[in-house]
Copies of this chain bind each other. A is one copy, B any other.
Amino acid sequence: MATIKDVASLAGVSVSTVSVIINGKAEERKISGQTIQKVNSAIRELNYQPSVSARRLRSNQSNVYTVGVFWASDFRMSLLSRFMTGLQSELMKLNTAVDITICPYESDKLKNEKRLYSINSYNAVIIANTSDEDNEYISRNPIPVPVVLFNRESEIYHTVGTDNAAAGRKAAEHLISAGARRVTMLCQKTSYLAMTKRSDAFIKTCLENNIEITKKDIVYADGSIAGGAEAGNDLYRKYKLTDAVYCDNDSMAQGFLHAMNKNNVSVPDDVQVIAIGLGNYEFNKFFNPSITVVDVPMEMMAAQCIKTVTEVASHELTAPSRTAFESVLHVRGTTKNI
């Protein structure tokens, strides 16, 4: 990367002249047109980019606290909005400037993110959506800046999450109280801790109520809306529809409901549906039919991430902390009200 010095020497002038020109003060300082020309062509030739770091440092405004948010770049991108909304609400309460840099990463490839393992990138990082493999990696290879892990568990990092087991249990309890007898689980292909916890609790609660869930009752799909629709169509075609379906996320539920609608399967009369609410609250509430969810309070969790980050920054927090928020059941149109 070319520096201002390189530009200066190529143009045959001093650095300050270059600086003056770059910052649009050429007129004011009466730099000759010729010099401006020389400098500009040097800039172009070297493809010079001013260094923001140097400028920030110099301008003493260097104390912007910079947080990197590592977020999976797949279909979970659609959950980013809700997270950012939560972050923002908390950031507004702060009187310090905080820069939020989004670092999308490929699932299972968190190890390739050099910015995670450099002290030169961010003051702190928030890591979300880690797969089991990613989690394993970061637990073995400590990250050199403060970390808040989102909805996962860790021995060495701060965590902010929800009571995933309770969420699975709540979903099962509601389905059972609504009269479900045979249940199908719609899960995401790629396994991660939060899902495992929910699923285990769901299965356990069902079993306690004499509903057995075996391998064949679990369907794996892409975690997207399209994935849910595909699974729904598939179950319908193969006459495998049970009287209740648990979806490990709301996107799949939306797709599933679309498939039911297309196939004239009545919800909740023929099939009841409950989902874990990860996406936009309104999407579920206003879907046709409106979807019963155990909502994960993403905004509160996001806000807590910022709180934790600032507490760490102010050295109030030393040992890894864990904060969990309760998920909340919203009974709506896809389950029966008995």
Contact = CB atoms under 8 A, between A and B. Distances in A.
A89 to B, nearest CB: 9
A59 B255 CA distance: 48
A52 interface: yes
Interface in A95-117: 97, 99-102, 104, 115
A66 interface: yes
A114 to B, nearest CB: 8
Interface string A296-329: 0000000000000000011100000000000000
A91 to B, nearest CB: 8
Stoichiometry (number of copies): 2
B56 A53 contact: yes
Contacts of A33: none
Interface stretch (A206-214, A241-249, A283-291): A283-291
B286 A226 contact: yes
15 contacts: A47-B315, A50-B123, A52-B53, A52-B66, A57-B57, A64-B121, A73-B85, A78-B82, A81-B81, A88-B104, A226-B286, A254-B283, A258-B286, A261-B288, A288-B288
Interface of A: 1, 23-24, 43-44, 47, 49-66, 73, 77-82, 84-85, 88, 91, 97, 99-102, 104, 115, 118-123, 144, 224-226, 229, 251, 254-255, 257-258, 261, 280, 282-283, 285-290, 313-315
Q: Which 8 A-B pairs have the closest CB atoms?
A: A53-B56, A1-B63, A258-B286, A53-B62, A225-B282, A288-B288, A59-B120, A53-B57
